[in-house]
Amino acid sequence: GQQLNQSPQSMFIQEGEDVSMNCTSSSIFNTWLWYKQEPGEGPVLLIALYKAGELTSNGRLTAQFGITRKDSFLNISASIPSDVGIYFCAGWGYNQGGKLIFGQGTELSVKP
């Protein structure tokens, strides 16, 4: 089946640093989504991208929908301890029906 390759798998950074993670696919998606999962919680939507080339921000988070429709990145600026969690990218395509395809997740640790 379709797969999303998400990298890096984990990151250990100092508070205040910027973070970047990305997802690539061999297939085209029509929607890219970025979720965050905190311990004991379910994934929560951070940013949704609907058009190729779209660049969207949500506070300190910025995400882009790649021009080729096969990739997306998420940047977090000036990280803080509460940014800790697992970040997942997810893609949806018209030929996917109702399902989202998720990446493997990027586990972020922030040292105060």
Partner 1 sequence: EAGVTQFPSHSVIEKGQTVTLRCDPISGHDNLYWYRRVMGKEIKFLLHFVKESKQDESGMPNNRFLAERTGGTYSTLKVQPAELEDSGVYFCASSQGAAGGNTIYFGEGSWLTVV
Near partner 1 by CB under 8 A: residue from 34, 65, 87, 88: 88
Q: If binding is defined by CB under 8 A, does position 65 make contact with partner 1?
A: no
Q: If binding is defined by CB under 8 A, does position 101 make contact with partner 1?
A: yes
Cis peptide before 8 (omega within 30 of 0): yes
Q: If binding is defined by CB under 8 A, does position 112 make contact with partner 1?
A: no
- Closest to partner 1 by CB, 78 or 99: 99
- Contacts with partner 1 by CB under 8 A lie at 3-4, 6, 30-31, 35, 40-45, 48, 50, 88, 90, 92-94, 96-105
